[in-house]
Chain A
């Protein structure tokens, strides 16, 4: 087990080097000169040249990449090209926290609605309620952020005026509700379907019949025996749904004007603020890898049978 964790953790830096290299290549050969962007169209060629030297943009590719990696190892993510005089670290870190709060709220919505829906549909399998709820969850899956957001804004913010149209006032405020709802609903479908499949499987087990036979109430059977045993596959999808949340964040934060990393990412790509893009890509990649590792560990913890085969690539 320890060897497995070590192997996975050693893989992380390798992965970060590859990911950062690819991103760096794209930035290096991509269009736009950060020096020109920062100085505006009226800058003299001499001023642009001076700034390029200052930013180290006149060096060759490997020198630039090498110095980036060296700074990164020492914890220095560089300075933003666009936000003058601000380091990427102080620019990005507060935004990471905001996006994390939004992501947690969205995930709570997916899990909080998806799991009960899945249990109900499994319990009522084959009835009209089952069909209706499963179809409804598919409908949720089919409303991406850019579809549901305009509707919610029009209805709740413009017509009813309950929630603000945009902005961010922290976790415990009305400004959280619409973005979290928009981001969380597509995930409900996955949760419902997985919980249903898993619970249907569990419901046919002998120990459920035993539990009912010894006179436990249906609620107890569902909560103690079905949910607990059905939960395992659900853990895995939590790791996967993280990717969906990050993607949802790009659009949600842009629409609702939330100052998180999703909006920052979109903005920096358009303004060619490459140090910020690099930092964001590396942060997200690290989170993905660690989340997947956590999921694999949890899985092994919940189901001892899978421990043997955690890292089975390359075996014949």
Chain B
């Protein structure tokens, strides 16, 4: 807007007032939301996500105990009135730890998806598709390099090799600013895991957006916008983006489940979120030993059921969104 000259600005405003592409696209979303709320699977998915992540957000108030509070008189006990889901091998409340783990998962998942998939992925996809030429080749080739890497292997490698350095940065940041407790809260872990996951989640979205943009680029309404003199930026983000968005929403929703699962896998391998900060992955790892499975299944059941439900809910919601937003592909 700022960069365009005055004349073209006036023209664009005029066109927008007459032909309302934004108005129509908002209509699409309202319509889609209405249809979504008539589908049982969507409602089911949204409800589970709200309950689980809502619990995670409210963890400090909801959880009966702190995630690290030990009750050494009640070690590895089954469910009771005091500890609804029992206690683990050092007497920590399983329910409280599960709720706090959900907060961990929520932070990592939303941060990774918001930056990796949405900001980086959509922007690069728009640039590759609309600008074409060298920019297109460059972005897509870099994407191919990322795709050729065994994703999880590199994420593990990144987490294992980069973390000590990030830990140092956070420590020196603590010293420089006088803010305490960052290391203890696991800020370094969050940064590393989030960075590694974000680095790999942009490629799929970028490819999808690029495909959409390439086919939209030659449509009359985009050509018209360009002829009027709209800036490249404006064409990309005001005209191409809203029209390319529906399939992206579906893919990102389904990707939420995958990213949530990836956080669990990393912590399960022991390179994700480090104790004492609780994570569903480390809870599963602690409980999966055969003898514990047999004698104290209450340790592993809560995290496993919660992870399964969470991924299932995201997939259900993605599926429902797909039905609503991509009606062509429906039966």
Contact = CB atoms under 8 A, between A and B. Distances in A.
Given A138-B319, A314-B133, A19 B288 contact: no
A135 interface: yes
Contact of A165 (B257, B290, B308): B290
Contacts of B41: 135
A172 interface: no
Interface stretch (B74-82, B108-116, B149-157): B149-157
Contacts of B152: 246-247, 250
Interface string B290-325: 100110010010001001110110011001000000
Contacts of B153: 246-247, 250, 265, 269, 280-281, 284
Contacts, number: 145
Interface in B129-164: 132-134, 136-137, 140-141, 144-145, 147-154, 156-158, 160-164
Contacts of A139: 312
A314 B136 contact: yes
Interface in B152-196: 152-154, 156-158, 160-165
B268 A146 contact: yes
B60 interface: no
Contacts of B311: 141-142, 144
Contacts of B257: 142
A281 B160 CA distance: 15
Given A143-B308, A165-B290, A284 B150 contact: yes
A315 interface: yes
Nearest to B40: A131
Nearest to A151: B304
A19 B308 contact: no
A266 B156 contact: yes
A288 interface: yes
Contacts of A128: none
Interface residues of A, number: 57
Interface string A141-154: 11110110111011
B85 interface: no
B261 interface: yes
Residue among B41, B162, B297, B331 facing the most chain A CB atoms (10 A cut-off): B331
Contacts of B331: 122, 125-126, 130, 196-197, 200
B269 interface: yes
Nearest to B144: A15
Contacts of B151: 243, 247
Contact of A19 (B137, B141, B149): B149
A196 B157 CA distance: 37
A88 to B, nearest CB: 16
Contact of A251 (B164, B265, B294): B265
Nearest to B131: A316
A247 B155 CA distance: 11
A197 B329 CA distance: 7
Given A26-B162, A247-B152, A289-B148, A146 B264 contact: yes
B161 A27 contact: yes
A158 B294 contact: yes
Contacts of A39: none
Given A125-B331, A313-B137, A146 B265 contact: yes
A139 B319 CA distance: 12
B284 interface: yes
A313 B136 contact: yes
Contacts of B304: 147, 150-151
Interface string A2-29: 0000000000000100110011001101
Contacts of A146: 264-265, 268, 281, 284, 288
A314 B137 contact: yes
Contacts of A125: 331
Contacts of A153: 290, 293
Contacts of B300: 150
Interface string A67-94: 0000000000000000000000000000
Nearest to B304: A147
12 contacts: A23-B154, A26-B162, A135-B316, A142-B311, A146-B268, A146-B284, A147-B304, A154-B297, A158-B293, A255-B288, A281-B153, A314-B140
Given A243-B150, A285-B150, 6 more contacts: A15-B145, A30-B161, A31-B164, A146-B288, A246-B152, A313-B137
